[in-house]
Chain A
Amino acid sequence: MLHLKHLEVEGFRGFPKKSDPFEFTAPAVLLHGGNHQGKSSILNAIEWCLYGDQCVGQKSGIRERVGGWVIVNRNVPKASVKLVIDTDKGVTTINRAEVKGKGRGERTIEVELPDGSVKKGVDAEKEITRLAGLSFKDFATTVYQHQETIHAILVQTPSERSDAIDRLLGLSDYRNVLDGIKRSKIADVQKELAEQFYSFQALVEQTVKIRQDELEHKKEKAVDSGLDANQLNEHKLLEVASDVRNQIGKFASEMAITAAPISSPANWKGAQTFTAEATNEIERLWSESADVKEQSQLNSKRTKADTIKTNCEQQKQAVATAEVEVQKFEQSHGNQEMIETEIRATQSTIAAVDDEIRQVSPKAKLVQEGIALLEATAPAYGTDVCPLCGKTAPNLLNHLKKEWTEKIEWQVHDLNTRWSKLAERKVELEGLKAKHELLTVDAAEAKEQLKASVDKAAEFLGKELTDRDDPIAMLGKEIGEIDDRIIKIEDAIKDKRETLDKISKSLNRLNLLYEVLEFEERISGIQKIEDTTEYKEQNEIRDKVAALVADVEKVDSTVRECMSEQAKNKMKAAAGAIDDYFQKIVGNPAIQELSVEIEEDTRTGGNSYTFRDQNGEELNPVLSQGDLNALALSMFLGLVKAYSHPIGFIMMDDPSQSLGTTQKKRLVEVMDEVCEDRNLIVSTMDSELQEFLQSGLTKAKTIYEFSNWDPKTGPNVIKVV
């Protein structure tokens, strides 16, 4: 059996400085002092020295040690613990150290065996495991009662309390596995995967639906064209193509033209090429038909005749209009000769009036012309210079005007008036003469153009035309004859056109069938997605995920079963001792028997613990904080009693958290009982419990009083013998 002899710590948690050796040879060692005085650090040091990293962090299964639980004191670079133990083979010294550094820093372990040999590193760890003979989990449940064990049971919700009991029973690994499975949300991942695939399916279905609607529309058109709804298939398409081919051959034969070869489609996909070839052949046959050719020529000839006739008509009308204009003018103003005669007469009269004016006043004309000349040249020469001789004559214009007004005008007034009227008439006559000349030219030009149109008509009609001919009437007659011929040809090609219409309808059906089959293929093409590598791969992925989910569910179920079974076995083995200790600590006459029922908690995945009394009544709702504390201690001590192991001591950290005075006394009685088999190390801040322990424990005791803890020096520890 493993017993502790003594312990030295330096730089470990609450001990920045090297401590004096703590002696553990007495059956009971009591560590007493206020909060945060380093008591728990001593218990931690023993645990760490034996189990190293196993008691640190997540893997410890102790929640308060997850994250931030330091080994090396903040004020020193290194932590070291020396633990001397005594086993059946002799005294062994364990030295464990850790130096601050990145992450967990550098760690060393060394074991000095009774024979003086020293083991280090992995070998040292193996040696300690062999010496302890107990896993860390079992150590944590049956040797070291942590504060957290009781604290969790006291203050947590029922589900969390069950979690704490699971941990008290050493089932935290199972809990962690179940938590991991729950957090992985693998079933959600599977559902999300399925949803994503179903979204893709919905998209495909939508596409298929659109194409299906289009296909139905094509089918309706095909049926409207005269096809049977049950014959919208490749067989029918090939039949229609063959029919078209025969019709074209027959058509060529009727027209006495050699048909070009058109290859029948091998399958429905050849329909488009076939249609193009057939259409070209039809157009060729049509254009090469004699009737059609003549019809085309006649149409051209008719258009030409119509154009010439229209031109003749227009030019003839233009000549008539021009001649009427000339006639109207001559009726109003006389002809060219008459106008010219009147102009000459007017000119003679004007000359006669001029003579009369000279006779009345010889200067009149001269002065009148002088005034007019000076007024016209005034801007350039002024009014004082004679424009004829260039000599200067002051006030010449005024002088002439005065001369005119005062001496001449009254003598020639009437003659002047007459002269002016004659001059106006002469200007008018000259205008009429010019207008007459213009009208005569227009009429001549219209006649020229008419002649050109008549020449074209003569050329078209193929004969010379004289004034005795009416080209317009002749062209009208020619057009009538062309029309008669066109009508006759139309009748002749009517049957051929009907044959062509028939072929066109067959080709239209062929096209509709092609479109239906093409759409059907497009839709069935979607089906090919299933044959793609990507589709097959995603199917495999879904199968693999499903297999993984099933496996994880099996693991989950198995872990639950194991956890439940292990909890039941442990509880069953320790049930008597738990009940016994609980009765002793609580002393509640109403609770004469304590039993525990273990079920699976479907919400948390852990166990659910229901404590019942002798009548099967549930105790959970009626247990006080003290009762719960007693329950936690009873379970720990019950497990200690139920399971024999090679560790010769137990450690209890702050066991009296919510116990009353009486319960504390009873607890000490129970501890005294436990002390029969194993040494007891108790850490407490509870002075009342300390007193009860000092007086109630019947075994020899070593007491350490902790006080005046300082961050740099640590606690002041006094050993009380």
Chain B
Amino acid sequence: MRVQTLWNLQKLRGKYGRGQFGKIAQKLLALSFRDMGYTHIVERSTEGVDIDIAREANKKFALEVKTTDGLSVVLSADNIQGLRERAKDGYLPVIAALRLAVFENWILAGVPLNELPTGQVLIDRLRAYRMSDVEHVLGPAFEQVAERHFQGTLKGGQRYLNDQLQQTGIEVRDL
């Protein structure tokens, strides 16, 4: 992630606090997947997995999104249950983790259902399950989305991003 993008994200977190920032990052991530060509995207603010994305019948992913400053992210039993629920509809479970620091990018970990960890999970542990091909495209897409929507988000926060999500055809649940 470019330093400028990191600064922008840090500014957003500074303004909205950690809790809201997690949701903002999630929405920016959803917009990035739209740029990447995923046709079906559902973004949830409160219940269930955070994001569903699908492009073709065999490319359906359910994402649990986590952001942190530390070494680990926390995966709750509910998070894992949410991923299991989506797996019933054919969505592959993915943990999307971003450490807010220089040289860090989103890690998309396609962890098999029976290996999904709970509790404090070292981000480095997720590297074993990286979806490098998707991450490779996501990196620059996220940079662009974060830059494009920085000022708007800084002013309007989640409401601005929800409008953007809807305008780009992303289904936003639990508004």
Complex-state Cα separation, A647 to B172, whole angstroms? 72
Bound-complex Cα distance A201 to B100 (A): 11
Is B129 touching A205 in the complex (CB atoms < 8 A)? no
Would B103 and A535 count as touching, CB distance under 8 A? yes
Docked CA distance A187–B128 (Å): 13
A204-246 interface mask toward B, CB cutoff 8 Å, 1 = contact, 0 = none? 1100100010000000000000000000000000000000000
Please name all residues of chain B whose beta carbon is closer than 8 Å to the beta carbon of A190 when the two chains form the complex: 122, 124-125
Q: Does residue B130 face the partner (Cβ distance < 8 Å to A)?
A: yes
**Is the beta-carbon distance between B128 and A547 smaller than 8 angstroms?**
yes
A542 to B99: give the CA distance in the assembly, Å: 15
Please give 12 more A-B residue pairs, beta carbons under 8 A apart, in addition to A191-B124, A201-B103, A205-B101: A187-B125, A190-B122, A191-B122, A193-B124, A194-B71, A194-B122, A204-B103, A208-B102, A526-B102, A543-B130, A546-B124, A546-B126
Q: CA–CA, A204 to B6, complex, Å?
A: 13
Q: Within 8 Å of chain A (Cβ to Cβ): is B123?
A: yes
Nearest-neighbour CB distance to chain B for A186, whole angstroms, equals 11
The distance in angstroms between the C-alpha atoms of A187 and B4, with both chains bound, is: 33
Q: Cα distance A194–B71 when bound, in Å?
A: 7
When chains A and B are docked, how far (Å) is the Cα of A550 from the Cα of B121?
13
Quick check: B128 and A527 within 8 Å, CB to CB? no
Verify if A530 is at the interface (C-beta below 8 Å from B): yes
Q: Is the interface of A mostly helix, strand, loop or mixed?
A: helix
Q: How many residues of B contact A (CB 8 A)?
A: 19
Nearest Cβ in chain B — how far from A43, in angstroms?
46
Q: How far is the CA of A224 from the CA of B62 in the complex (A)?
A: 51
Given contacts A201-B101, A526-B102, contact A546 B71 (CB under 8 A): no
Pick 30 A–B contacts, CB within 8 A, sort by A.
A190-B122, A190-B124, A191-B71, A191-B124, A194-B71, A194-B123, A195-B71, A198-B71, A198-B101, A201-B101, A201-B102, A205-B101, A205-B102, A208-B102, A523-B3, A524-B4, A527-B2, A535-B103, A542-B124, A543-B127, A543-B128, A546-B124, A546-B125, A546-B126, A547-B128, A549-B125, A550-B125, A550-B128, A553-B115, A554-B115
- Cβ of B7 under 8 Å from chain A: yes
Contact between chains at A546 and B3 (CB < 8 Å)? no
> Which residues of chain A have C-beta atoms less than 8 A from B2's C-beta?
524, 527
Q: Measured between alpha carbons, how far is A75 from B101 in the docked complex, in Å?
A: 69
Given A194, A201, A204, A546, which contacts B128 in the complex, CB threshold below 8 Å? A546
Asked whether A542 and B103 contact (CB < 8 A) given A194-B122, A527-B3, the answer is no
Decide if B127 touches A542 in the complex (CB within 8 Å). yes
User: Which of B7, B128, B130 is the most central at the interface, judged by chain A CB atoms within 10 Å of its CB?
Assistant: B128
Contact with B along A532-551 (1 / 0, CB 8 A): 00010000001101110110
CB pair B71–A529 under 8 Å, yes or no, is no
Q: How far is A204 from B103 in the complex, measured between Cα atoms in Å?
A: 9
Shortest C-beta distance, A216 to chain B (Å), equals 11
Q: How far is the CA of A202 from the CA of B69 in the complex (A)?
A: 11
Contact A526 B3 (CB under 8 A): yes
Q: Mark B1-20, 1 if CB is under 8 A from A, else 0.
A: 01110010000000000000
- Name the A residues within 8 Å of B3 (CB-CB): 208, 523-524, 526-527
A530–B7 alpha-carbon span in the complex (Å): 17
Nearest A-chain residue to B126, judged by Cβ: A546
Question: A27 CA to B142 CA in the complex, in Å?
Answer: 81
**Which residues on A sit within 8 Å (CB–CB) of B4?**
524
Q: What is the minimal beta-carbon distance from A416 to any residue of chain B, in angstroms?
A: 115
Least Cβ–Cβ distance between B130 and chain A, in angstroms: 7
Cα–Cα, bound, A554→B4 (Å)? 40
Query: Which 5 pairs of residues, A with B, have the shortest CB-CB distance?
Result: A546-B127, A550-B128, A546-B128, A194-B124, A201-B101
Contact of A549 with B128 at beta-carbon distance under 8 Å, contacts A523-B3, A524-B2, A526-B3 already known: yes
Q: Which residue of A has the minimal Cβ distance to B117?
A: A553
- Most chain B beta-carbon neighbours within 10 Å: one of A194, A195, A549: A194
Report Cα–Cα, A187/B117, bound state, in Å.
Answer: 14
